[in-house]
Structure 1
Amino acid sequence: MNKTLYFSYEKLDFLELRYSISNQCYKQHIHNSLSIGAILDGQRIYTNKNKTITLEKNQLAIINPNTIHSCNSSSKIVNKIYMLYLDKNWCFELQKSIFPNINEFIPFSNEILKNKTLYKKFITLCELLFSNALILEKESCIIDFFCSLYTKYNKNIQIELKTSEKIENIILYMKNHLKEDISLNCLSKEFNLSTFYIIKLFKKELNISAHSYFINLKIEFAKELLKKGFSIVETALECGFFDQSHFHRNFKKIVAITPKEYQDNFIQ
């Protein structure tokens, strides 16, 4: 039986936690956030960019922001898994408190962390977030875990390679036009670039097509609206999905559950 729960809280608006008991598969996708995952049993096939790894218990999967990835069951066996999503800006502020000389977010160079101590701390953190503990205790535990994580792996991280100004401008344009059905021709005219160049640019810098990236942006925005209480119909329209079945299909491909299940399974 598949089951999914989400934790979100307005006083901890920099994070979202998902707990699932599932063997469902996800299409490769991206998040704007830093994502950390851990399974409680079995194995998962974790793909990060073009690298495929077997994720097991006592390991942490690390997914840097805007990195194409998937993490799917290796068989039809159901797994229990935690996925924590953290706002990139919040992570950067915490990094600056540990490494005062940095001036931008530092991503991890490791896709998998094989560290039983940090794994146990992560599971404890996830269990605490789903509990009735005081907000101060939850926040303290979050900061303690990430300080341990960054301190332990500060020698294994590298300065993030900046995306080109061209692609940053295209992404900003996409974010400002989520209600629209943007075409490659539209982007070509807006930025005076050939459609072929735009296709190559996204593939080279983000390892994802422009269309898939735009759909991901729409779904990430849809998740925000659903958490705020928008109806599914309103959310679909705000995100530029004028066909409900198209919205449901794309949402489930990326999130692995329907918009209604996502909205219903939040623990506030």
Structure 2
Amino acid sequence: MKKNTFTKIFKDEKIPYLELRYTNSNKHYKKHFHDTFSLGINEQGVSIYTNNDKSYTLDENMLSIVNPYAVHSCNACSEVLNIYYMLYLDISWCKEVQKSIDDKVNEFTNIPLDILEDKVFYDEYLTLCKFLFSDNHISDKEDILIDFFIKFFSLFLDKTEDANTNKEFDKIVFFLEKNYKENISIKELSKFFNLNPYYIIRLFKSKINLTPHAFLINLKINKAKELLQQGHSISDTALECGFFDQSHFHKNFVKIVATTPKEYKLNFVQ
């Protein structure tokens, strides 16, 4: 009986530095290399993963780490179809994320491990991959992607400390509070404040454990709650708070308030 196989690729021109492969296969690949930084997991199945002259068993709760130009292969151990995710990232983008953590970084820094066994990172990576394939807005996808890789690269880099972080953080917060209606991108914040965009993200994560994008969404939702309490319609509220559309508003409202805008409008406690 022929086995049903599939391959899905996520790629978006708005985040061109990323490609995500989701597939099931028991094909055997020859040793090869990529000019990207790659990170992968088996969602189902066990593989033999080789990287240069070392060999590993890639199993549950393990991430395979492939630095640029590392000669590697990853093949199923049996005829059972493995289900796996493999993420390929442009090293220029990775370098900027790394530099936000350690300002001594001037070129991409190879990760000193071939495999990371860590259930927390495995689960977060799996969540990230599923989120990238979801119908969520691309800005939300980029947000969770950056959040994950700041945490991942921080495992292997020295963190830069800066005495000015409180002032920088306060200035950016004030700016976002005044401009919450706008969909301000991290690139716009970077240009306005003349700071590395990923440094800004790490700054917010260190201060309030939210990315700037997540903080801005929270500001929008807080204002939306006020407007709904005042009797504004859901469509007008979504528009007034600068959401891309009602679907974007609905998803983010439920995530933060744990109820729909309609239910909140009808049942909020004053």
Give TM-score scaled by structure 1 length: 0.57
Q: Secondary structure at the match of 1:89?
A: helix
Which residue matches 1:10?
A: 13
What pairs with 1:172-191 in structure 2 (closer than 5 Å)? none
> Offset at 1:32?
0.4
Matched, 1:20 2:54: no
Q: Secondary structure at the match of 1:132?
A: coil
Amino acid at match of 2:58: L
Contact 2:29 2:75 in 1 (8 A): yes
> Offset at 1:69?
0.5
Q: Secondary structure at the match of 1:30?
A: coil
Which residue, 139, 143, 146 being the options, matches 1:140? Answer: 143
Unpaired runs of at least 5, structure 2: 159-270
**Separation in structure 1 between the aligned mates of residue 98 and residue 156 of structure 2, nearest angstrom:** 12
Matched, 1:107 2:97: no
Residues 219-238 of structure 1 deviation map (CA, whole Å, 9 limit, x = unaligned): xxxxxxxxxxxxxxxxxxxx
What pairs with 1:248-267 in structure 2 (closer than 5 Å)? none
> Offset at 1:36?
0.3
**Separation in structure 2 between the aligned mates of residue 70 and residue 35 of structure 1, nearest angstrom:** 12
Contact 2:36 2:68 in 1 (8 A): yes
**Separation in structure 2 between the aligned mates of residue 44 and residue 153 of structure 1, nearest angstrom:** 25
> Offset at 1:58?
0.7
Which residue, 60, 64, 82 being the options, matches 2:85? Answer: 82
**Separation in structure 1 between the aligned mates of residue 138 and residue 146 of structure 2, nearest angstrom:** 12
> Offset at 1:109?
0.8
Contact 1:2 1:23 in 2 (8 A): no
**Separation in structure 2 between the aligned mates of residue 47 and residue 80 of structure 1, nearest angstrom:** 18
Q: Secondary structure at the match of 1:5?
A: strand
Tell me the number of residue pairs that the alignment of Structure 1 and Structure 2 aligns: 155
Which residue matches 2:34?
A: 31
Contact 2:33 2:68 in 1 (8 A): yes
**Separation in structure 1 between the aligned mates of residue 76 and residue 140 of structure 2, nearest angstrom:** 33
Contact 2:101 2:157 in 1 (8 A): no
What pairs with 1:114-263 in structure 2 (closer than 5 Å)? 114-154=117-157
**Separation in structure 2 between the aligned mates of residue 153 and residue 2 of structure 1, nearest angstrom:** 36
Structure 1 residue runs of 4 or more that deviate by more than 3 Å after TM superposition: none
> Offset at 1:22?
1.1
Residues 183-217 of structure 1 deviation map (CA, whole Å, 9 limit, x = unaligned): xxxxxxxxxxxxxxxxxxxxxxxxxxxxxxxxxxx
Amino acid at match of 1:153: F
> Offset at 1:141?
0.5
**Separation in structure 2 between the aligned mates of residue 8 and residue 136 of structure 1, nearest angstrom:** 14
**Separation in structure 1 between the aligned mates of residue 138 and residue 109 of structure 2, nearest angstrom:** 27
> Offset at 1:153?
2.9
Which has the greater radius of gyration?
Answer: 2
> Offset at 1:70?
0.5
**Separation in structure 1 between the aligned mates of residue 116 and residue 56 of structure 2, nearest angstrom:** 12
Amino acid at match of 2:100: S
**Separation in structure 1 between the aligned mates of residue 27 and residue 119 of structure 2, nearest angstrom:** 26
Residues 103-124 of structure 1 deviation map (CA, whole Å, 9 limit, x = unaligned): 2210111000011111111001
